[in-house]
Amino acid sequence: MKLTRKYMKRVLMGGFAGSLVILMSACNDDFLDRLPETEIGVDNFFNTEEDLSIYVNGLYNFPGLGIYYDDATDNAGTTGNREIKTIMTTDANSQTITSGWHWGALRSINLFLENAEKADIGADVKNHYIGVARFFRAQFYMEKVKRYSNVPWYDQVLETDSEDLFKTSDPRETVVDHIFEDYQFAMEHVRESVPTGAVDKWTVMAYYSRNALYEGTFRKYHSELGLEGTANDFLELAAKVSQDIADQGPFSIYNTGNPAQDYMTLFGSQDLTANPEVIFTNIYEADVKNTDDPQYLFGSYEMSMSRDLLETYLMDDGTYFSQQMGIETMEFVEEFQDRDPRLSQTFAYPGWELYYTATYSPGTTNYVQELKKNFTGYHQIKGFANDPSIDVRRGIDIPVLRYAEVLLNLAEARAELGTLNQGVLDATVNQIRSRAGMPPLNMAVSSDPVQAQRYPQVTDPVLLEIRRERRVEFAMEGRRLDDLNRWNAGKLMEKEPVGMYFPGLGKYDLTGDGVADIQLLGIEDAIPEPKELNENGVALIYYRTGSVGSNADVYLTEGTSGNVVGTPERGKFQEPKHYYRPIPAPEMALNPNLEQVFGWE
The DSSP annotation for 403-446 comes to HHHHHHHHHHHHHHHT---HHHHHHTHHHHHHHTTPPPP-TTPP
Q: What percent of the chain has pLDDT over 70?
A: 88
525 neighbors 380 (Cβ within 8 angstroms): no
Angle between helices 403-417 and 231-248 (to 10 degrees): 140
* SS3 per-residue string spanning 317-341: CCCCHHHCCCHHHCCHHHHCCCECC
> Cα separation of 389 and 431, whole Å?
34
In this prediction, residue 4 has a pLDDT band, given cuts at 50, 70 and 90, of: very low
**CB contact set of 432 (below 8 Å; sequence gap of 6+):** 253, 404, 407, 408, 469, 473
Mean per-residue pLDDT over the chain, rounded: 90
pLDDT tens, residue by residue, 159-189: 989 999 999 999 999 999 999 999 999 999 9
Distance of CA 144 to the CA centre of its chain: 17
> Cα separation of 239 and 520, whole Å?
52
Per the model's pLDDT, the better-predicted residue between 90 and 33 turns out to be 90
Q: Is 456 exposed, middle or buried (0-12, 13-18, 19+ CB in 10 A)?
A: exposed
Q: How far apart are the first and last CA of the chain?
A: 52
In this prediction, residue 494 has a pLDDT band, given cuts at 50, 70 and 90, of: very high
Q: Which residues pair with 329 in a beta bridge?
A: none
Tally of CB atoms within 10 A around 274? 8
> Cα separation of 425 and 148, whole Å?
35
> Cα separation of 40 and 115, whole Å?
13
Lowest average pLDDT, out of 97-111, 202-216, 271-285, 426-440, goes to 271-285
**CB contact set of 190 (below 8 Å; sequence gap of 6+):** 128, 131, 132, 135, 199, 200, 201, 203, 204
pTM: 0.92
> Cα separation of 407 and 228, whole Å?
24
pLDDT tens, residue by residue, 398-420: 899 999 999 999 999 999 999 99
